[in-house]
Structure 1
């Protein structure tokens, strides 16, 4: 009879725990909360990168237009001045912009000469060929702007261009023919 009563006690204990649902929601939330919060932060960070990309495209385009129309020339502008103008057009990022922005302004004779190679090599910018050369009227002009953005969630690092320090690189490129000025 002892074996039978032990079996009944175990069965009663099981029924008691099976019916007692106190704390189940807390346990379920604890299991789901971390992945949910992590995914929400990753979505927020991706949205910030998209806003940064659109902002950088706009700022680069507006500033490059000054080269295209002849307002900015090699004689009346510098690379630091160009960076500052791009940063001024970035609004909400203007404070951290100068230290995070890299620019390359080049002149070419034809559109076929414009490079398309990736400038991130071994987790670093390959800035060996970066320059600030504004061409004269009717010259082909390439303006590239690269912005380093620190990532907080490792989920996005695999899908984005990143540097060795795990910063994402957001880029904007504008290719155009200068107006005949």
Structure 2
């Protein structure tokens, strides 16, 4: 496999993971570039589990950037979904509004998770990786991956339930309705 073939094979996965971890298009592009620079500077042809190795490098780069920019992370803009632009003409305005609201709510919930939990959730549901692959990427035991995923889902479930109760009572983030 050539460097170009390796890049073509894994670029989208790396970018998608970086994008969901960092929630910023420019940062995701920069980290994606850095990941492949790191890969090509190493002896990548001898790596046995290439995808897991590449995703571990990507995740480490993302976590390092999050640590450096922890205070700025809260200020980042919400995710802009590019696929909405192409489907907007087919969907009703109500559907588009509902989808944007739901996406914004999920992003807000994910932002509230600690970085370690967010990493596991992102790799599992955005990166569609197995528990074993996540464990390899993060260099933690599979049991830790499972417990972090369970804890993250439990936190998200509680937050969703409290949000639903607030909406049922006529409240929202801006006060009562």
Q: TM-score, normalised by structure 2?
A: 0.22
Which is strand-richer, 1 or 2? 1
Looking at CA atoms only, which structure, 1 or 2, has the larger radius of gyration?
A: 1
Q: TM-score, normalised by structure 1?
A: 0.21
Which is helix-richer, 1 or 2? 2
